[in-house]
Amino acid sequence: MACGKTPQTKIPAYGWQGEGGNTTEQTLQADFSKWKSHGLDGICYNAGHDVEKHQRAAKVAKANGMEYHAWIPAMLHGGMDSTIYAVNRLGQSAYHTQAYVSYYKFLCPNREEVYQFLTSLYGKVADIPEVDYVHFDYIRFVDVILARGLWDKYGLVMNEEYPVADYCYCDKCVSDFKTATGIDIKSFDDPSSCAEWAQFRCDLITRLVNRITDDIHAKGKKVSAAVFPGPDSYAKKMVRQEWNKWNIDAYFPMNYNDFYLEGPEWVGRVTKEGVTALNGKAPVYSGLFICHDWQNKSSIEDPEGHGLIPSEIETAVRASMENGAAGVCLFTPHSMTDDHWATFEKAIHQSYVSN
Ligand SMILES: [Zn+2]
């Protein structure tokens, strides 16, 4: 145009990325500046529990004008006191026996020691000046029901709650539930029929989230979280996340359609559900799972290798935005091919009207 620039429309966009083994300040700078140039405004970055690595990455993010969300898995731990781990319906502690995969060593969310450990860890990271948000992940129970697309991978049919993956039946949880409701959950043949028991466990997660959130807010920092889609359709039923009751500042639902054997339009349906449940309390950034090796997608057996191909990106972004999302988040920027970036950049530079 002859006179001045056309105002650019651009929707907010984020990425989730974990730190690799060969990361240096130089590789971070190369990655973050590239992602920023492709339209990412912020990064949810997983450097585990390593405070110094978060510090290094947060500085690079800031130098590139990006918001930094320190992404830290919450309930998964290997080396804590064996008495504070979650216990399944068969009486097995997650410390000794795990559902699905060996890293599923989930802590019990009802233990004071677990709260103390987590708030101290998240607090240390929140104290880093360049950290804008701490980002909860795995702040939940073990998946008592797995996403439909994962059944074949683990050789399971999960039409009902799966006792091996149904937590927490530790002495403290069973006894606290009895005190609160008068119900002895161990007397049930089918505990999944007890609505109070499901609610009790959702409340344990909500209380833990809100206690840590209060502590982070007291430090002048914000909290975001990766959550299951829903909350009602999946998150509450699968992992006890009643996330509309959380007091955090931003939500990143993992709207990974391929995990649920759904197409990209489905992302719009679950986005609308979450936005409606929050009723304006906090923004929702719709999490999109990217298929890196997309030209071979049909021959990849593992559904965790599936995800959006370039031609589906626009539909997923549009469905998110037209159903009230504040923006989108990519899992992961490293999985994005040039073809993905091309369709993504087109999609994030359009204006959308929320229905
Ligand atoms: Zn417990």
Residue 53 CA, chain-centre distance (Å), reads: 20
Compute the distance from residue 83 Cα to the ligand 1 centre, in Å: 10
Q: Which amino acid is at 160?
A: E
- Of the candidates 319, 272, 309, 265, the one whose C-alpha atom is nearest the C-alpha of residue 289 is 309
Compute the distance from residue 295 Cα to the ligand 1 centre, in Å: 45
Compute the distance from residue 93 Cα to the ligand 1 centre, in Å: 10
Compute the distance from residue 211 Cα to the ligand 1 centre, in Å: 17
Compute the distance from residue 139 Cα to the ligand 1 centre, in Å: 14
Compute the distance from residue 175 Cα to the ligand 1 centre, in Å: 9
Compute the distance from residue 256 Cα to the ligand 1 centre, in Å: 29
- Tell the burial category of 176 from Cβ atoms under 10 Å away from its Cβ (0-12, 13-18, 19+): middle
Task: Check whether 2 has a pLDDT greater than 70.
Answer: no
Compute the distance from residue 172 Cα to the ligand 1 centre, in Å: 6
Compute the distance from residue 227 Cα to the ligand 1 centre, in Å: 21
Compute the distance from residue 278 Cα to the ligand 1 centre, in Å: 28
Residue 202: in which H helix or E strand, if any? helix 195-218
Task: Check whether 151 has a pLDDT greater than 80.
Answer: yes
Per the document, the length of the chain is: 355
Q: What is the pLDDT of residue 305?
A: 83
- Report percent pLDDT > 90 for the chain: 87
3-state secondary structure at position 252: strand
- Of 155-164, 194-203, 343-352, give the lowest mean pLDDT range: 155-164
Compute the distance from residue 167 Cα to the ligand 1 centre, in Å: 7
Average pLDDT, rounded, for the chain: 95
Compute the distance from residue 299 Cα to the ligand 1 centre, in Å: 41
Q: What is the pLDDT of residue 152?
A: 84
- Of the candidates 136, 137, 188, the one whose C-alpha atom is nearest the C-alpha of residue 166 is 188
Compute the distance from residue 238 Cα to the ligand 1 centre, in Å: 17
Stretch 222-237: mean pLDDT: 98
Instruction: Measure the CA–CA gap between 340 and 93, rounded to whole angstroms.
Output: 42
Neighbouring C-beta atoms of residue 342, cutoff 10 Å: 14
Q: What is the pLDDT of residue 137?
A: 97
Instruction: Measure the CA–CA gap between 231 and 275, rounded to whole angstroms.
Output: 10
Tens digit of each residue's pLDDT (9 = 90 or more) over 171-189: 999 999 999 999 999 999 9
Stretch 230-256: mean pLDDT: 98
Compute the distance from residue 109 Cα to the ligand 1 centre, in Å: 6
Task: Check whether 56 has a pLDDT greater than 80.
Answer: yes
Stretch 103-132: mean pLDDT: 97
Compute the distance from residue 218 Cα to the ligand 1 centre, in Å: 28
DSSP string, 105-133: -BBPTT-HHHHHHHHHHHHHHHTSTT--E
Residue 47 CA, chain-centre distance (Å), reads: 15
Compute the distance from residue 253 Cα to the ligand 1 centre, in Å: 25
Instruction: Measure the CA–CA gap between 252 and 328, rounded to whole angstroms.
Output: 8
Compute the distance from residue 173 Cα to the ligand 1 centre, in Å: 4
Task: Check whether 136 has a pLDDT greater than 80.
Answer: yes
Tens digit of each residue's pLDDT (9 = 90 or more) over 279-297: 999 999 999 999 999 999 8
Cis peptide before 231 (omega within 30 of 0): yes
Tens digit of each residue's pLDDT (9 = 90 or more) over 67-108: 999 999 999 998 899 999 999 999 999 999 999 899 999 999
Q: How confident is the model at residue 5 (pLDDT cuts 50, 70, 90)?
A: low
Range 123-128, long-range pairs (CB < 8 A, 24+ positions)? 123/215, 123/216, 123/219, 124/51, 125/51, 125/54, 125/70, 125/72, 126/70, 126/216, 126/219, 126/221, 127/219, 128/51, 128/54, 128/55, 128/58, 128/70
The pTM of the whole model exceeds 0.75? yes
Compute the distance from residue 107 Cα to the ligand 1 centre, in Å: 8
Cβ contact 192:161 at 8 Å: yes
Q: What is the pLDDT of residue 8?
A: 66
Q: What is the pLDDT of residue 7?
A: 57
Task: Check whether 4 has a pLDDT greater than 70.
Answer: no
- Report percent pLDDT > 70 for the chain: 98
Compute the distance from residue 314 Cα to the ligand 1 centre, in Å: 43
Q: What is the pLDDT of residue 1?
A: 42
Compute the distance from residue 111 Cα to the ligand 1 centre, in Å: 7
Q: How confident is the model at residue 330 (pLDDT cuts 50, 70, 90)?
A: very high
Task: Check whether 3 has a pLDDT greater than 90.
Answer: no
Instruction: Measure the CA–CA gap between 86 and 107, rounded to whole angstroms.
Output: 5
Compute the distance from residue 224 Cα to the ligand 1 centre, in Å: 25
Stretch 327-331: mean pLDDT: 98
Q: What is the pLDDT of residue 41?
A: 98
Compute the distance from residue 271 Cα to the ligand 1 centre, in Å: 31
Stretch 240-262: mean pLDDT: 97
Task: Check whether 149 has a pLDDT greater than 60.
Answer: yes
Q: How confident is the model at residue 300 (pLDDT cuts 50, 70, 90)?
A: confident
Compute the distance from residue 110 Cα to the ligand 1 centre, in Å: 5
Cα angle value 273/275/280 (rounded, 5°): 150
